[in-house]
Amino acid sequence: MSARYLGGSDVRCGGNALSHLLRAVTAGAFFTYALLCLIAFGACAEASPKRSALRHVQRWMILLDYNAALELEVRQSGAYDLVILDADNHPPLDIFPPETVKIAYVSVGEAESYRGYWEKIKTEAFVLDENENWKENYYVDVRSAEWSAVLLRKVIPEVLQQGFDGIFMDTLDTAGLLEWRDSGKYAGSRTAMVRLVLEIHKMYPELLLISNNGYDILPEIAPVLSGILVEDLFSGIDFENGGYRAVSEADRKERVDILLRLGGGGKIPVFTVDYADIHNRGQIREIREKSKKLGFRPYLAQGSLSAVYEQDDLP
């Protein structure tokens, strides 16, 4: 597997598509689901120590492109409150303290050709075109019961067997993207993605669920989420010119408003991943401070999630 950048919603969907998707969510839906989220999250927090622990995470990391040479670095980097790791390719889980919340990466909106399930599904009708931005990643029709079964009956049980506490749900955005591109052919995809997330929670109620982006469906899945992760809130990769780019205030405000409505005041912990030059400590410090000021838990990475990025020297 190549070095992995998750790809924020603005990268996967394009700015215009994201704006259309966000505007489709009504204010009424926000308040309704935010209320449900308060009820659901509060009840679950009492029942699950790990779920409660997420609300107090300070030091965390995300490492998705792991190789054995990194094990010593991970061991020496100290204790983390939370680690997000690839489901198949990760350090031994027993090197982390028992209290560390361990979350496995799972792509719910795209199939990956390097996963164990690929040979059995690669010719199925629900497997669509390859993602033009990410080789070996293929869009899937999330309305398919067969795809749901892959996740519910194979992927998630394997995650649990390894000792993970939950899953990090990536590619939530792709269902809305497909429906936006062709509303006739993919009608109902966004609703199907919501239904899939709710079904995961129904089948595995103790499984911690952390979303990645998915702004257009966040109000509807918030009641079952243990955490929300978003990318590129302040800085992201500049694919056209190379290096990194600052996120505009207008784009950020729209997203922050959503996050504060759903996760503000500690209702649901919000984790941010921004991509920047990790050696520019002044910029890294500034981004971290801005994220923390909003009540979020920041992490900075340099272009890929294939290394351990130390930030202990920063506030």
Q: Residue 100's domain is classified under what CATH number?
A: 3.20.20.70
SS3 232: coil
CA distances from 21 to 27, 179, 252 (A): 13, 10, 15
Scanning the chain, the segments in alpha helix (DSSP H) are 9-12, 15-23, 27-47, 49-54, 71-76, 118-121, 145-149, 156-162, 173-181, 189-203, 218-221, 249-263, 281-293
Q: Is residue 188 part of a domain?
A: yes
Place of tokens 């503000």: 264
For the chain, report the end-to-end CA distance as a whole number of angstroms: 33
pLDDT of residue 47: 52
Mean pLDDT of 104-132: 97
Residue 187 dihedral angles phi and psi, to the nearest 5°: -55, 135
Q: Is residue 314 part of a domain?
A: no
H/E stretch holding 127: strand 127-130
Q: Is residue 307 part of a domain?
A: no
pLDDT of residue 85: 96
H/E stretch holding 112: strand 110-112
Q: Is residue 279 part of a domain?
A: yes
pLDDT of residue 105: 98
Neighbours of 204 (CB within 10 A): 17
- Cα–Cα dist 100/57, whole Å: 9
SS3 51: helix
Q: Is residue 93 part of a domain?
A: yes
pLDDT of 58-100, one tens digit each? Answer: 999 999 989 888 887 888 877 899 999 999 999 999 999 999 9
pLDDT of residue 266: 75
Q: Is residue 306 part of a domain?
A: no
What does R_g of the chain's alpha carbons equal in angstroms? Answer: 18
pLDDT of residue 304: 74
Q: Is residue 311 part of a domain?
A: no
Neighbours of 200 (CB within 10 A): 22
- Cα–Cα dist 18/23, whole Å: 9
pLDDT category, 16, cuts 50, 70, 90? very low
Q: Is residue 291 part of a domain?
A: yes
Cβ 95 vs Cβ 75: under 8 Å: yes
Average pLDDT score over the chain: 86
- Cα–Cα dist 270/22, whole Å: 18
Q: Considering its fold, how many domains does the chain have in total?
A: 1
Q: What are 192's two structure tokens?
A: 């199907």
Residue 9 pLDDT greater than 80, yes or no: no
pLDDT of residue 45: 38
- Range(s) of the domain holding residue 141: 9-301
Q: What are 57's two structure tokens?
A: 């995470």
